[in-house]
């Protein structure tokens, strides 16, 4: 914060070595009110000075104090603010020097013996001399000369109230205080304005502004200093509110667990220092998931192991590998996530490979196998990011291949596959928006997929092939109804302008779409999904979210497709999500499906039971 408005007068003198006592004069005023205003400032300064000096072995200051005395200058009575008396020359010089450094720019030393006082050097008497502000009780102001570093319009409005008229010194001080308070209220905590003592000519008053800044940033974190600094973007003049918002945004980084920040005054006026302690989540983690979230034809009960390493270099990268197994499935995946810019741009590369065999009777006897391989490259650009909302664009390229065999020989089970093989290389562009408020939240995403003929994509003539266009829209909204009760509604729609290969169709059924049905119960070109959930979180020793839900979905193929047409799914049920500890969590859903589908072999999903057990360990 900058200091108070100071009116000073006089010139600096050398103190004769033979003087016995002296005082430091900080200003002379025509009115006692003006002198008392400066006396308060001088008193605060001198008290702090004495406290600091008491900690050192510097000269003693005896009974010196700040006070007002009346004096006569050129037959005129003035009120002089001074500090003293001092018994030695060094003490007076030291106080005078420190007062000058603290803003009392024209302090001078007065000797107790007028006959020995060194004469002040002044110009010859001039009847046209203009008195400085410090020697006037009021001033006539027609305009201000200044350059404000921020809030220019607001400051202009405040100065307008004292422009074009005679202004009392006290009112000028009040305006200065209003401007400084305005800066503080807007977050510019170390920016402000001072009024230097000056001679006003032609009604022009010069104002000095101090532009606040962060002069030094100290960071303690596993993240690189540049990674953090680029996301803060501290500008000049420094604004505390903007810094707080930037820190809250940084705290939303998945790598960051907690931020401690401290802003302190710097060495010079207008300067501040920032100390940051940015704590990050552990670099390594491992997880184990047990669930019945796979298609019963390959074994619904699965076990998945994942390992993750984050921020190994300090630049926020993440590497993850995983492996899943069921009775008839072996699957592997790897993901690399790389931040590209401080604005939040990122690159993600994902690879997945799975081999599966049908284990459900009676098809387990004919050796039906499938191999699926995919490589995805995604670039994400944030368009707008605030504390409560995010708008981003994503561009991706997916290379996907599926090969099916029967009795060890290539065999096409789906329309468009050639010798059991399907390949697609679609380019996708998506726009995502999220908004979070105190009582509600919204998430929406719209994507367009355009299949290309590159990378040997399937070309099946009039049959479904690798050249297609499809659209996917998703939206989710949550609303808090009471302290522990909220509802969530979500909807999804995929529309295909062309018949799709099986690896591009949308699958309905299972815990993530329509509960109460088998995983991937209905696979179609076009899909529509609506779900409504009510969540209740009671006060219990452990965190439990009780859920009641309604799910509905419809799948249908493109009109040019020869495969089966429309199928509807609908269900009602209850569920619970439990966090047993920081490492253990569980999910259980019980649903009743209103539409019956024949199955050759019973599975727990046929009774609408979906479960998941999770274990996470970070280190």
For helices 240-251 and 225-232, give the axis angle rounded to 10 degrees. 130
Q: Measured between alpha carbons, how far is residue 99 from residues 11, 471, 605 in Å?
A: 13, 73, 83
Question: 529 with 555: CB under 8 angstroms?
Answer: no
Q: Quick one: tokens of 602? A: 């019973």
Residue 75 neighbours by CB under 8 Å, 6+ apart: none
Instruction: Compute the distance between CA of residue 433 and CA of residue 389 in angstroms, rounded to an integer.
Output: 7
Residue 545 neighbours by CB under 8 Å, 6+ apart: 535, 536, 537, 576, 577, 578
Instruction: Compute the distance between CA of residue 556 and CA of residue 535 in angstroms, rounded to an integer.
Output: 31
Comparing CA positions, the residue from 26, 14, 19, 86 lying closest to residue 50 is 86
In this structure, whether the domain defined by 284-618 belongs to CATH 2.40.160.50 is answered with yes
State the architecture of 213-280 in CATH terms. Answer: Roll (3.10)
Instruction: Compute the distance between CA of residue 327 and CA of residue 301 in angstroms, rounded to an integer.
Output: 8
pLDDT confidence of residue 56: 57
DSSP string, 284-315: EEEEEEEE--S-GGG-S-EEEEEEEEE-SSSS
pLDDT confidence of residue 60: 61
Secondary structure class of 479 (helix, strand, coil): strand
pLDDT confidence of residue 112: 54
Instruction: Compute the distance between CA of residue 50 and CA of residue 496 in angstroms, rounded to an integer.
Output: 82
Same fold, 133-210 and 213-280: yes
Q: In terms of CATH, what superfamily is 133-210?
A: membrane protein fhac (3.10.20.310)
Question: 162 with 175: CB under 8 angstroms?
Answer: yes
pLDDT confidence of residue 52: 76
Helices of type H across 137-270: 152-160, 169-185, 225-232, 240-251
Question: 332 with 340: CB under 8 angstroms?
Answer: no
Q: Quick one: tokens of 599? A: 């199955």
Predicted TM-score of the model (pTM): 0.74
pLDDT confidence of residue 122: 36
Gap between the terminal Cα atoms of the chain: 43
**Domain segments of the chain: what residues?**
22-111, 133-210, 213-280, 284-618
The DSSP symbol for 132 reads B
Helices of type H across 54-199: 89-101, 152-160, 169-185
Element (H, E) at 51: helix 32-53
pLDDT confidence of residue 119: 36
Question: 307 with 321: CB under 8 angstroms?
Answer: yes
For helices 89-101 and 32-53, give the axis angle rounded to 10 degrees. 110
Positions of the chain with pLDDT under 50:
1-20, 57, 113-127
């Amino acid at each position: 914060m900058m200091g108070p408005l100071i009116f000073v007068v006089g010139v600096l003198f050398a103190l004769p070595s033979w003087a016995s006592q002296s005082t430091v004069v900080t200003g002379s005023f025509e009115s006692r009110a003006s002198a008392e205003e400066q006396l308060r400032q001088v008193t605060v300064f001198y008290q702090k000075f004495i406290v600091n000096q008491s900690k050192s072995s510097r000269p003693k200051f005896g009974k010196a104090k700040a006070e007002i005395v009346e004096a006569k200058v050129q037959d005129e009575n003035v009120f002089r603010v001074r500090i003293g008396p001092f018994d030695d020359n060094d003490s007076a010089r030291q106080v005078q020097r420190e007062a000058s450094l603290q803003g009392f720019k024209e302090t001078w030393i007065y000797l107790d013996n007028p006959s020995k006082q060194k004469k002040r050097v002044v110009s010859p008497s001039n009847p046209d001399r203009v008195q400085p502000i410090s020697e006037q009780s009021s001033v006539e102001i027609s305009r201000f000369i200044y350059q404000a570093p921020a809030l220019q319009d607001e400051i202009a409005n405040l100065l307008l109230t004292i422009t074009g008229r005679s202004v009392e010194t006290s009112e000028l001080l009040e305006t200065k205080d209003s401007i400084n308070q305005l800066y503080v209220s807007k977050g510019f905590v170390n920016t402000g304005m001072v009024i230097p003592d000056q001679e006003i000519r032609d009604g022009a008053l010069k104002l000095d502004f101090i532009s606040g800044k962060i002069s030094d940033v100290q960071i303690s974190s596993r993240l690189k200093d540049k990674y953090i600094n680029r996301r803060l973007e501290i500008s000049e003049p420094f604004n505390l509110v903007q810094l707080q918002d930037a820190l809250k945004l940084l705290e939303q980084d998945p790598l960051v667990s907690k931020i401690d920040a401290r802003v302190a005054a710097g060495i010079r006026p207008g300067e501040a220092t920032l100390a940051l302690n940015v704590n990050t989540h552990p670099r390594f983690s491992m997880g184990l998931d047990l669930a019945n979230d796979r298609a019963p034809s390959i074994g619904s009960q699965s076990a998945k192991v994942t390992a993750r390493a984050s921020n190994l270099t300090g630049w926020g990268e993440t590497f993850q590998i995983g492996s899943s197994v069921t009775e008839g499935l072996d699957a592997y995946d790897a993901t690399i996530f790389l931040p590209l810019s401080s604005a939040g741009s990122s690159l993600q590369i994902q690879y997945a490979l799975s081999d599966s065999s049908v284990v459900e009777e009676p098809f387990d006897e004919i050796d039906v196998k499938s191999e699926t391989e995919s490589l995805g490259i995604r670039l994400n650009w944030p368009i707008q990011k605030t504390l409560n909302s995010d708008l981003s664009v994503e561009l991706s390229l997916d290379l996907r291949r599926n090969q099916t065999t029967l009795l060890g020989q290539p065999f096409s089970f789906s329309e468009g596959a050639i010798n059991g093989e399907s390949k697609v290389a679609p380019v996708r562009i998506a726009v995502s928006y999220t908004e979070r408020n105190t009582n509600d939240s919204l998430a929406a995403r719209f994507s367009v997929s355009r299949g290309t003929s590159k990378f040997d994509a399937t070309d099946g003539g009039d049959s479904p092939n690798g050249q297609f266009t499809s659209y996917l829209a998703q939206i989710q909204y949550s609303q808090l109804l009471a302290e522990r009760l909220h509802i969530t509604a979500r909807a999804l729609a995929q529309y295909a302008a062309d018949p799709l290969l099986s690896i591009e169709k949308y699958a309905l059924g299972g815990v993530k779409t329509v509960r109460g049905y088998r995983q991937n119960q209905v696979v179609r070109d076009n899909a529509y999904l609506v779900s409504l959930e009510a969540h209740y979180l009671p006060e219990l020793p452990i965190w439990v979210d009780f859920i009641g839900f309604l799910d509905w979905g419809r799948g249908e193929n493109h009109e040019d497709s020869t495969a089966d047409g429309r199928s509807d799914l609908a269900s009602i049920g209850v569920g619970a999500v439990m966090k047993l500890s920081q490492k253990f969590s569980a999910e259980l859903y019980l649903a009743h499906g209103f539409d019956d589908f024949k199955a050759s072999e019973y599975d727990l999903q046929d009774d609408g039971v979906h479960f998941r057990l999770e274990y996470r360990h970070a280190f």
